[in-house]
Structure 1
Amino acid sequence: MDIEYITRSKIDSFDEKSLEEILAEYILDYKDITLETSRKMAESVIEEVKNSLKISQTNDEFLKDLIAIPESGIAMGEMGVGSRGAGDFFVHRKIAEIVDSTKTSSLVNPTAQDDGGVVKASTDSGELYVTTAVDGIHSRLSEYPFLGGFHVTRASLRDVCVMGADPVAIISDLHLADDGDVGKLFDFTAGVAAISELIDVPIVAGSTLRVGGDMVLGDRLVSAVGSIGVSKYPPTARKRAEKGDIILLTEGSGGGTITTTAIYNGFFDVIWETIDISFIKASNALIKDDLVKDIHAMTDVTNGGLRGDAHEISETTGLGLEFQHEAIKSMVNPKVLNMLETLDIDPLGVSTDSLMLIVPENKVNEVKKSVLNAGVKIAEIGTVDNSGIARMNKSDGTIEELKPLFREAAYTKIKKLVGETTPEDFEIMKEKVQKAANNAIKKKDDVVNYINQN
């Protein structure tokens, strides 16, 4: 419950006394305090918000521009942000444009829409490639902190591994709302630490704060885990894929998304299928066997499922990808696949946490042998060509072009109600979002110029 949001949204519609009573009732729902104390808290919130709103009356026009949000008029949910589909990908490309506008130098940055970012450093022993990645906890795992910490750490490390880097450090940022039990912090950290211990990569830093300070009531947990990796070879970024390459896929049993699907649909035995580190074992085997340099591209099948990854790789490279449907299905953990098919969830539209490798034909057998020796299943699922289209050959003989839906395949009941279809006014929505991103870049430029001149 965001008390500040409620206050800001209602302050022009209610007199102060009425608003104070509304807020006091909300506060009493969460706090074991007297009505008098809750009213005093409500009064304080209203006073603080009123004071903050006075900034719009300042004569300092630059300051007013500084604190004004470049609003698009499009809400997160409307645009499908975080739902790993077309709307989400579009917004991420706009974020990448803001990053790219800085003109700072990096080998791989968000414009590549890749899993991690890479910078090159020079050392006495030669060049070193440093990869960083960060992932946020699955929002529906707030009530299951250990699982949330476990899976977000795996996700962050995967993003480092698929760039061909060897993970060397983990960092954690943890936010818990005001009424959350401190034990949630420990449970989440234990989940992060479990992965740290299993793969012998240390947790080196972190931050712990409350969500919204005194203004947000409840026990919602939000967090992010970052990973750092190093490599002596250039990254296995998507743009390195070439015509004639073979596409390999390891067996995926899912992470945060599959765990959430299992919990909220009652398939509790499936949770245990996700408690593994097969992905990292496969990646580490390739590093140990010195095969990373021979792999053109690596990615984890996460955001929007294989549909999303295939489309993004095709968009980034301009190449085509041809997949075999039955081969893909064979690389989904059987229990996970059964759950998805029982619930009518498209296995190609959700995160299965498989490792997808794009490899020159003459290196396929070596790569498969390395992964299999690590105890991880792997199979050939397709090829790269110059068609410019990602597509799949289905068992009935038909061919389907692989495109991300507006949102990833709905894997909970509430997501099915929200739906996956693209809004009719999506193009108009994109124009508004583009304008907001442009305005954000302009603000950044104005502030940088101001600081440089003063």
Structure 2
Amino acid sequence: MDMEGFVRKMLKQENERKVKNKLINRIREFKEIDKEKAAKLASAVIEEVKNTFKINEEDKELKELVKYPKANVTMGEMGVGSRGKGDFFVHRKIAEISLSKGKTVVDPTSQDDGGVVKTESKFGNIYVTTAIDGIHSRLSEYPFLGGFHVTRAALRDVYVMGAKPIAIISDLHLADDGDVGKLFDFTAGVSAVSELTGVPITAGSTLRVGGDMVLGDRLVSAVGAVGISNTAPTARKKAEVGDKILMTEGSGGGTITTTAIYHGFFDVIYETLNIDFMKACEAIINAGLLNEIHAMTDITNGGLRGDAHEISSTTGLGFVFNKEKIFDLINPRVLEMLNKLDIDPLGVSIDSLMVIAPKDVCEEIKDVVSKVGVKIDYVGYVDDSGVPKLKSKNEEKILKPLFREAAYTKIKKVVGEKTPEDFEEMKEKVKNAALKAIKKKNKIVEMIRKKEHGR
């Protein structure tokens, strides 16, 4: 429970005395303290929040600096984090704000798995790939699984850019009432993947969620990975018409684990505990095939629906997928669970490796990946249609992303997957907020540069 957010909202609706009494009760729901101590905490929170209101009264420039451009569209309304059309749109806007022109080989606007910069050395060009992923939000109560799967995700994002991971970093935040044991369990999950892959953990940070202001035991975190290569990245934009598409068997990660936990399919959790993706990538790297691959990605962001749409949007190419082949490459126990729960297997992250390359190279890839015990097969090809399509025995249809990824928990089913009627209006509001953020960034950068120049 966010005390600061609660007070900010309630002070606009009720008098201070009522807000204080409500906050005292909320605090005592979370903390076993007497009413006097809770009252002191409540008073401190209210005083701090009231002080921040004064910024709006005194300094016009400071007011502009600290306020943020409101879109009047919430994260939930826009579907941010839900791997669908709304989420993809917001990420494109974030990428526009983040853009460092001319300094990257693969930048955020590519909507790729990782970012890449090139640096020169006496040994030639070195490509440095970075990636970061956040823990699945529903795995806060299951830290080991959260740490395990988010670490795999970060390493996957480095591998698919054609780089060899060399370091793992971890950023861990636990709310004020969280048991310290959660920190250790999460780190054990991260370390398990580190030991299995031989990629060391080199740095990290541990803080509280919201400091003293947030009650509860919610765990939020991110794991990043760094990789290097002496060859150009296997970015999505390099795909070509006529390329074939390979896919490895996917058993899922954080999303499938969450589905299994919250629907009672506990045996499926064990299916997700593997490093098959990394084994497949290592086999490709060791065979010296990276230079001949046009693109690699992991089937994660909203499932094949989301990834195919994003790749098609980035490249302008079309992709034709064979439905039966894809379903054959989803772990049987995972597929059985999804079917029983009426969850679209094409709309959730199954954590397969997808490789796009010329046919003769694909044959070599199939051979080396199969030899390390990972199932792999053809699932489609690239054409010039400009859209992703799904073929089955009886029909062919365009593969479209939903507003949100397939609803894989009961609460997601309640929220729904349908695109809001005012989605275009929401997009315009979000776009305007992003433009204001860019304008603010440019103004502050210019102000600091002038100050530095005057010294």
TM-score (norm 2): 0.98
**CA displacement, residues 196-245 of structure 1 (integer Å, 9 cap, x when unaligned):** 00011100000000000010000000000000001111000000000100
1:92-103 aligned at under 5 Å gives the runs: 92-100=91-99, 102-103=100-101
Choose which of 306, 309, 325 in structure 2 pairs with 1:308: 306
SS at match of 1:222: strand
Change (3 A) 1:230 1:78: same
In 1, Cα distance between equivalents of 2:441 and 2:315:
30
How much is the aligned-residue C-alpha RMSD, in angstroms? 0.7
1:77 counterpart residue number: 76
In 2, Cα distance between equivalents of 1:357 and 1:314:
14
In 2, Cα distance between equivalents of 1:13 and 1:118:
48
Choose which of 331, 334, 338 in structure 2 pairs with 1:333: 331
1:51 counterpart residue number: 51
Displacement of 1:12 after TM fit? 2.2
In 2, Cα distance between equivalents of 1:27 and 1:314:
49
Choose which of 197, 202, 227 in structure 1 pairs with 2:200: 202
Worse overlay, 304-313 or 267-276: 304-313
Choose which of 440, 445, 449 in structure 1 pairs with 2:446: 449
Choose which of 114, 126, 129 in structure 1 pairs with 2:127: 129
Displacement of 1:130 after TM fit? 0.6
2:345 counterpart residue number: 347
Aligned residues: 451
In 2, Cα distance between equivalents of 1:90 and 1:220:
28
SS at match of 1:78: helix
Letter in 1 for 2:250: G
SS at match of 2:223: strand
**CA displacement, residues 146-184 of structure 1 (integer Å, 9 cap, x when unaligned):** 000000000000000000100000000000000000000
In 1, Cα distance between equivalents of 2:17 and 2:61:
34
SS at match of 1:154: helix
1:72-221 aligned at under 5 Å gives the runs: 72-100=71-99, 102-103=100-101, 105-221=103-219
2:409 counterpart residue number: 412
In 2, Cα distance between equivalents of 1:394 and 1:78:
34
1:429 counterpart residue number: 426
Letter in 2 for 1:50: K
In 1, Cα distance between equivalents of 2:362 and 2:185:
41
In 2, Cα distance between equivalents of 1:398 and 1:340:
22
1:256 counterpart residue number: 254
Letter in 2 for 1:29: E
In 1, Cα distance between equivalents of 2:27 and 2:385:
59
Letter in 2 for 1:240: K
Post-superposition, which runs of at least 4 consecutive aligned residues in structure 1 deviate over 6 A?
none
Letter in 1 for 2:94: I
1:235 counterpart residue number: 233
SS at match of 1:286: helix
Choose which of 362, 374, 394 in structure 1 pairs with 2:372: 374
In 1, Cα distance between equivalents of 2:233 and 2:344:
31
1:24 counterpart residue number: 24
2:396 counterpart residue number: 399
Letter in 2 for 1:69: Y
SS at match of 1:303: coil
In 2, Cα distance between equivalents of 1:330 and 1:224:
32
SS at match of 1:383: strand
Displacement of 1:103 after TM fit? 2.7
Displacement of 1:93 after TM fit? 0.3
In 2, Cα distance between equivalents of 1:317 and 1:17:
58
Letter in 1 for 2:22: I
In 2, Cα distance between equivalents of 1:208 and 1:56:
33
Change (3 A) 1:299 1:32: same
**CA displacement, residues 238-270 of structure 1 (integer Å, 9 cap, x when unaligned):** 000001000000000000000000000000000
Structure 1 residue 13 and structure 2 residue 17: aligned? no
Letter in 2 for 1:70: P
In 1, Cα distance between equivalents of 2:429 and 2:257:
35
In 2, Cα distance between equivalents of 1:400 and 1:356:
20
Choose which of 277, 294, 297 in structure 2 pairs with 1:296: 294
1:37 counterpart residue number: 37
Displacement of 1:104 after TM fit? 5.3
SS at match of 1:356: strand
2:64 counterpart residue number: 65
Worse overlay, 12-21 or 138-147: 12-21
Choose which of 432, 437, 441 in structure 2 pairs with 1:440: 437
In structure 2, the gaps of 5 or more residues are: none
In 2, Cα distance between equivalents of 1:8 and 1:389:
46
Determine what percentage of the aligned residue pairs are the same residue: 64
Displacement of 1:16 after TM fit? 1.4
In 2, Cα distance between equivalents of 1:183 and 1:143:
11
Letter in 2 for 1:8: R
1:4 counterpart residue number: 4
